[in-house]
Homo-oligomer: A and B are copies of this chain.
Amino acid sequence: MSLISTSSKGVYVIAVTPFAEDGAIDSASVDSVTDFYLEAGADGLTILGMMGEAPKLTYTEALAVTRQTLARAAGKPVVVGVSAPGLAAISELTKAVMDLGAAGVMVAPPGNLKTNEQIISYYQQIVDALGSDVPVVLQDFPLSTGVSISNDSLGLIIETCPSIVMIKHEDWPGLAKITALREAEVNGRRRVSILCGNGGIFLPEEIARGADGAMTGFGYPEMMVEVCALAAAGDIDRAQDIFDAYLPLVRYEQQPGIGLGARKHVLARRGAIRSSAQRRPGTPLPRTAIEEIERLILRQEQRLAALGR
């Protein structure tokens, strides 16, 4: 199975972890949601991320989900989130999932890192502990982690940690950071792959500034696939038209907390998973929210129809 690299691109969908109403992992839905993502055109998957409810799984469950997803993913690269409070747990899980065939691992910084030096040192310890042959995705998501990584810090990490091949970019605002990353490469710094997060809410601008695609979740992943493809083909206006049609729902799913409930509702509605249940502690979607989502979907379909889709 292939590894991710500095030239990886396209759409890596952040996969949900499907649960039954009783909180057990819904294995049948692990298969069906994997199929769903790949049929939508995903170039890869990222499992056990924050929106995959990873901290709610035991180690054994995390391995089981990884094994099953890899078996189903038909050779497409699967990145596994391995963030944990300590290096030992990160190393242990990394070794296990790489042995199973993962394409790489994703690591977000722990919230106690403050200064540039602490952040840089953390990633140097990570790559040292994981070994130079494990491709690492650095997740840059200050809104959730509380850790702000400056352009210069990111640059030093890239320079000193060759096995970090990809940035999951979801600083907010973060458009200028993409530009800064690409400009540094023009000036000689090694290239990294940049896949963008934040539910895709700035996807057109991100692609235009040099991002290689998206690594995020959305109930209609085909939107991200099509926007990336149209942008790659140079049809920016059509890409933006498609994007705009989905934007009201993108905005809704991007809400912290309740966004996961919204996403799982959409996925269940579309048959990708059997239940929208989250494992405890989760935020059940209130009736009003479901009505809002249904209304947004109806309008979205009308608008897509007007675009000939």
Contact = CB atoms under 8 A, between A and B. Distances in A.
Contacts of A142: 114
A82 to B, nearest CB: 12
Interface in A220-273: 237, 240, 244, 247-248, 251, 255-259
B117 A87 contact: no
A27 interface: no
Majority SS at the chain A contact face: helix
Contacts of A68: none
Contacts of A237: 299
Contacts of A121: 281
A92 interface: yes
A282 to B, nearest CB: 11
A75 interface: no
A11 B55 CA distance: 33
A149 B118 CA distance: 11
A191 interface: no
Interface stretch (A30-38, A56-64, A99-107, A133-141): A56-64
Given A201-B251, A256-B172, A89 B55 contact: yes
Interface stretch (A2-10, A160-168, A284-292): A284-292
B247 A248 contact: yes
Contacts of A86: 54-57
A111 interface: yes
A90 to B, nearest CB: 10
A259 B172 CA distance: 11
Nearest to A57: B88
Nearest to A178: B288
Interface string A94-120: 000000000000000001001111100
B251 A247 contact: yes
A233 B61 CA distance: 52
Contact of A299 (B118, B201, B240): B240
A115 B109 CA distance: 14
A132 interface: no
A16 B147 CA distance: 29
Nearest to A115: B150
Interface in A172-220: 172-173, 175-176, 179, 201-202, 205, 208-209
Contacts of A89: 55, 57-59
Given A88-B279, A173-B257, A208-B292, 14 more contacts: A56-B86, A57-B86, A58-B89, A59-B92, A84-B85, A115-B150, A116-B150, A125-B280, A173-B255, A175-B288, A175-B292, A237-B299, A244-B244, A244-B299
Interface of A: 54-59, 61, 84-89, 92, 111, 114-118, 121-122, 125, 129, 142, 148-150, 152-153, 172-173, 175-176, 179, 201-202, 205, 208-209, 237, 240, 244, 247-248, 251, 255-259, 279-281, 286, 288-289, 292, 299
